[in-house]
Amino acid sequence: MNKIKFDLNDRTAVITGGAQGFGLDIAKRFLDSGAKVIIWDIDPKLINEVSKEINNPNLSLSIVDISDYKAVETAVINILKNSKIDILINNAGITGPTMPLWEYDIEMWNKIIKINLSGTFNCCRAIVPSMIKNNYGRIVNVASVAGKDGNANASAYSSGKAGAIGLTKSLGKELADKNIAVNAVTPAGAKTRILDQMSKEHVQRMLSKVPRGRFLEVHEFTSLVCWLSSEENTFSTAAVFDISGGRSTY
C-alpha cells in the first residue's frame, strides 16, 4: 500500500506513549515525512527496543511520566533549550480493568484518570505557551469512541477519554485566534497491545458494535493524525474526528 507523504519538514513533534502501538506508527510516519520526533514513554524496555529498531538521527527518546507535571515541565524545558515544539500528539493512555463501576478499584480509577486526562492536560499546559510564542502548533489528543458512547464496565476509561474530548474543545477555542489547531480523534478498537489489557468478552463486545465488522488498522489511524498534524489542516480546530468504522454516528 502506497502511503501519502505529508510535508513535516522543519517540524518537531512530541509523541507521548510513542514506544508502541499508535504512537510508534505515528513516529515512523512523521520521520518519513521529514519531522524531528521526540518520543516520551514510561517503559524503559520499550524505549530500548525502539532505539535499536529505528536508526534515525531525527529521533530521540526519553522516559517521561506524563502524570507527573514536574517531569513533563522539565522535559519541555530541556527540549526548548535547543529546539521548538510544533506538534504534540497526546497518545499515552491505559484502559485499566473491566468491571462494574460499583466494584471499581478506587486507586485504579484515579490512576486511569491521572494518565488519560490529567496527563493530556499536563502536556498541553507545559507546551502550549511555546506554541503561542511561535504562533504555530498542531495538537492531536487521542481519545476514544468510549469517550463519546461510553463502554459498559469501563467507566474510568470512558470518563478519562470523555474528559480529553472536553479539554480539546475548550483549548481549541482558547487558541482559535492563533495558528494553533487542537483536535481529538476517537478510534474504535484497533489491533494494538492495548487489547491485551481487556477481557476477551469485552474485546468481542467492542467488535460487535463496529458496522465495518473489523478492528481499525493502525496505518489508517496514523493517516488521519498526520493530516491533522500538518499545515494542510488550516481551519479545523476544537473538533472531534471519528474513526470508528461507523460505530459512532455523531
Contact of 42 with 64, CB cutoff 8 Å: yes
Give 114's DSSP letter. Answer: I
Q: How many CB atoms lie within 10 A of CB 192?
A: 18
104 annotated active-site: no
4 backbone dihedrals φ, ψ, rounded to 5°: -65, 135
Amino acid at 228: L
Select which of 69, 104, 136, 157 is catalytic.
Answer: 157
Cα atoms found within 13 Å of the Cα of residue 52, Cβ hemisphere only: 6
Contact of 46 with 21, CB cutoff 8 Å: no
Give 42's DSSP letter. Answer: S
Map residue 40 onto helix, strand or coil.
strand
181 backbone dihedrals φ, ψ, rounded to 5°: -110, 135
| Catalytic positions | 157
